[in-house]
Structure 1
Amino acid sequence: MNQANELPIDQDVTPPSPELVRQALQSVVSSVAFQASPRLQQFLTYVVEETIAGRGAQIRGKAIAVEVYGRSIDGTGGRNLVRVEARRLRRLLHEFYQDQGNGEEVRIFVDPGGYRPRFSQERTTGDDNSKIQSRDAFAGHPRLLQLLTGGLGCLVLIAGIGFWFAQDNEVVLPTTRSKEQAERVALGKQSLTRLQAANLADQARGMFFPVFDVKRQQIALGMFKHATELDPTLSDGYAGSAQVLATLAMLSPDNAQRDDLFSQASEMSGRALDLSPTDAWANGANGWVLATQNKPVEAMKYARLSVELAPNDGHILDLVGITAIMAGAPDLAAEVSDPERSRSGSGRFGARNIWGVSQLMLGNYEKVVEAFKGAPAAGAPVSAPSLLFQAVAHDQLGHTEEAQRLVTEMRKTWPEFPSEFLAGRVFHNDDETRQATLDTLSRY
């Protein structure tokens, strides 16, 4: 089998479609090796989707460090990490195609020296069934790239995911299946379109953190809406849309826009509950919508119910955790984000950061510093609020120099981040923490 840099380059060959590329991507990231490496799943998904969207030539290690690993754009640490992870990615891709990749119609390669992926299509053509491969499939096709980079379609395409490969109408999975994989098999037997919608929604909910990254939320919203278009009877797309719309409403400084977003969020959460009244995600999303609308008592009812329905689902626990923070219930936030608590699922979890905020609200400032300080090493999201909450804890502990450094770094890295505005929204039901945050911002 040819290795990544040994494939022939054929000219004037029709490039694989975005759908086929996404099928190939799903086949890779759902393999056993990649399931054990959620960050490499995100790495590969990011570079593939950027290439499909026509931005392959602009992929840089700095962007991957920020978008995938949540690292600061300053210094070389993030880019060094990306180089190390890229080597791991190339190795796992090579092993995948050696061990499991026979028969894959489209293959993905990330050649040494860069991060832009290359798509190789192998298909049967002519009377002698000869094989043709195409390299750098989207290069030299400006009209295709132009079509892929317009309007809301771009949001849908940026991080979408295609069908799992099927054979004889059955989804191919490793012999040993997790509960999640078994559920996907069942969905695939029922409807491949339904399976595609479920996969898309699941991929998008892994993008929910950092919560206050508006660009990321807008991308996720496009994916959730596409999931509802693929299968209007599946509650996941509506639940995901509800949680993102509520988040965008909370972050909006415009009253009219905020009211409109809240109205849409309520409509989406209502549809999710109508379709699946006992679904943990539908209930959790509705709790989050109510919390952002400052209805803490009602929000907590749905939040607690969603934990009962899915006590180990990492994404549900995260959603409940931020709902509890907004509702002024730090004890529940601490309970669901406890570092010792078992959680299932793949993708980016925000539990460590939620734990840190819960400890800030409870006045355990040493634990706050410990939680946020270890976040990057643990692969937890890093964002402006991460630095802000650390600064507040250090200020309360009397560590003025460190508080000053963190506030300065936050304002330098995220100069547009509305810190004071956000503090008022997040801690609407916790006057003490809100005031401590505002005092720290004012003092430094």
Structure 2
Amino acid sequence: MDTLRLAGKISVREVTYPKIASKLTHYLFENMTETKGNSTCRDKSGNDLSVEEKRAAVASVVESRIFANSPRLKEFLIYVTEKSLSEEGADLSAKSIGFHLYGRDTVDETNSANFVRVEAGRLRRSLDDYYDSDGRADAVRVQIRKGGYAPTFERHVVSAQSPAADGTARPLLSGGPKKLRLVLFACVLLAVIALGVFEVLRPGPRPDDAELAARVERQALMEQSPAALEAANMALQARGLIYPIFDAHRQMLTTELFRAAIEIDPNSALPYAGAAQTLGSLALLSIAGARHDNFLAEAREMRDRALELDADHEWVQSAAGWVAFVERDFESAMRYSERALSLAPENGNVLDFYGVVAVASGEFEKGLQAGDRDRPREGENTRFAYLNILGAAYFHLGLYHEAISAFEEGNASGGPVSALGVVYLAAAYSSVGREQDGRRMIDQIEKSWPGFPIEEFLTRLHREPDTARQLVKKLRSVGWSE
């Protein structure tokens, strides 16, 4: 039973030698050290820690690889730490942090609190990532608990041995045959891992896990048939051309690529999933009427065929979520999209469709998480679409300056440009008093997308009518009219 439980600690999706070694080492420490029934000694109050130890713990975090590209999170952690260590620690409110650290307007308390809450959430997630990786062996850990901003510190010391009941030191291998069987099994497994580590460390270029998995998949498809491999390759290439998803001409062209892939191999789920997404977007852009109904009917057919062929593929689940979204079944759309994300949490295409569904469904915090600049992303080229998602989420949370920054960064980086993105940017400019820039964006919409039905499309896109009305009101204030 011990060996089965140990094997169960290692997920099948994570079977690489370095990850197995890390998990096994952690498991052995947890199970082979005892301190009154607990595997570690922790003082969660942090009362026994000196100021120097607390500052050193924070320094380890901000100097780590995880925080290398997050200067704002570094500033946040250092600021709240220093405040908590001083006599001013009691004033760690969202209003105070927003004003003193970020220069936020103290009069607009709601937007300031939203901004600080979002940054605190990002910091908590990054701290979790740090202590799950580079900081796993740190003797002192810092956390920002939910519901507040003051940091807490705790010791995190793994005992090499623990005292027995009579006060004498207990040997590491005490515990009888059960413990001995575990140790023997661990030794055998470690020997196997050592061979694998030799392979990993052997000189010469080696593909990463994602590339290795892709190679294996391509080899399997080739063994199935050259047509299967060609169809999958064409579908993946077309997938990178989907963005911007709210551009009708692009969706029409990309749909034809997916149709061509289907002709090459009618039994490949991927081109059906892609066609379901592009046809769903065309139905959404058509608003209503016969064109809308025809596009949506075909999108459903493509979705159903994809689910029939490979329901466990993240792209198929993402496509099913998108079609449900176009059908205005927002609960199913989120459920499918979250399932896709659980299957491929770092896939950029899955993240982007999930983010759009989340923002349009009113789940703005989830939209922020999907568009987080620091979130790992992989997969076919999505052309910085996540920055538009981030900008829209910021806008609906009342963080207009941050929204403008995200949209402008996306445009400067070569991100996808669509009428919807320009609409949001115009509304954000209007919200911060930049009427001239807002009017300039309105002129661009009328020149580049003449006749684009802004109000109808926003109403069709968003779950709540008030969300669409908020945008329209901002546009009218800078001169837009139906």
- Which consecutive unaligned segments of at least 5 residues does structure 2 have? 1-204
Measure the CA separation in 2 of the matches of 1:234 and 1:346. Answer: 18
Q: Say whether 1:424 aligns with 2:456.
A: no
The residue that corresponds to 1:373 in the other structure is 408
Measure how far apart 1:283 and its partner are: 0.7
2:256 maps to which of 222, 230, 241: 222
Measure the CA separation in 2 of the matches of 1:320 and 1:182. Answer: 27
Measure the CA separation in 2 of the matches of 1:347 and 1:401. Answer: 34
- Contact map agreement 2:283 2:296 (CA 8 A) in 1: yes
Corresponding letter in the other structure for 1:381: P
Q: Say whether 1:409 aligns with 2:437.
A: no
Q: Say whether 1:358 aligns with 2:421.
A: no
Instruction: Extract structure 1 runs of 4+ deviating beyond 4 A.
Output: 174-177
1:437 maps to which of 466, 471, 476: 471
Measure the CA separation in 2 of the matches of 1:421 and 1:339. Answer: 31
- Contact map agreement 1:291 1:326 (CA 8 A) in 2: no
Measure the CA separation in 2 of the matches of 1:265 and 1:430. Answer: 24
The residue that corresponds to 1:269 in the other structure is 303
Measure how far apart 1:327 and its partner are: 2.4
- Contact map agreement 1:197 1:237 (CA 8 A) in 2: yes
Question: Which aligned pairs between 1:1-40 and structure 2 lie closer than 5 A?
Answer: none
Q: Say whether 1:189 aligns with 2:223.
A: yes
- Which consecutive unaligned segments of at least 5 residues does structure 1 have? 1-173
2:424 maps to which of 384, 389, 392: 389
Stretch deviating more after TM superposition (380-389 or 407-416): 407-416
Q: What is the aligned-residue RMSD (CA, Å)?
A: 1.8
Question: Which aligned pairs between 1:206-221 and structure 2 lie closer than 5 A?
Answer: 206-221=240-255
Corresponding letter in the other structure for 1:317: L
TM-score, with structure 2 as normaliser: 0.53
Rg bigger for which structure?
Answer: 2
Corresponding letter in the other structure for 1:291: F
The residue that corresponds to 1:321 in the other structure is 355
- Contact map agreement 1:291 1:299 (CA 8 A) in 2: yes
Secondary structure of 1:375 counterpart: helix
- Contact map agreement 2:239 2:380 (CA 8 A) in 1: no
Question: Which aligned pairs between 1:3-402 and structure 2 lie closer than 5 A?
Answer: 176=207, 178=211, 179-349=213-383, 350-402=385-437
- Contact map agreement 1:360 1:433 (CA 8 A) in 2: no
Stretch deviating more after TM superposition (271-280 or 328-337): 328-337
Secondary structure of 1:267 counterpart: helix
The residue that corresponds to 1:81 in the other structure is none
Q: How many aligned positions are there?
A: 270
TM-score, with structure 1 as normaliser: 0.58
Secondary structure of 1:401 counterpart: helix
Deviation per residue, 1:49-98 (Å, 9 max, x gap): xxxxxxxxxxxxxxxxxxxxxxxxxxxxxxxxxxxxxxxxxxxxxxxxxx
Secondary structure of 2:411 counterpart: coil
Measure the CA separation in 2 of the matches of 1:311 and 1:395. Answer: 35
Where relative contact order (Cα < 8 A, 6+ residues apart) is larger, the structure is 1
- Contact map agreement 1:286 1:299 (CA 8 A) in 2: yes
Corresponding letter in the other structure for 1:220: T
Measure how far apart 1:275 and its partner are: 1.1
Measure how far apart 1:191 and its partner are: 1.6
- Contact map agreement 1:208 1:216 (CA 8 A) in 2: yes
- Contact map agreement 1:204 1:220 (CA 8 A) in 2: yes
Q: 1:413 to 1:261 in 2, by over 3 A?
A: closer
- Contact map agreement 1:325 1:426 (CA 8 A) in 2: no
Deviation per residue, 1:266-323 (Å, 9 max, x gap): 1211111111111111111111111111111111111110000110111111111122
Measure how far apart 1:224 and its partner are: 0.9
The residue that corresponds to 2:39 in the other structure is none
Measure the CA separation in 2 of the matches of 1:360 and 1:431. Answer: 16
- Contact map agreement 2:287 2:457 (CA 8 A) in 1: no
Measure how far apart 1:189 and its partner are: 3.1
Q: 1:238 to 1:393 in 2, by over 3 A?
A: same
Q: 1:288 to 1:183 in 2, by over 3 A?
A: same
Q: 1:384 to 1:257 in 2, by over 3 A?
A: closer
Measure how far apart 1:415 and its partner are: 2.1
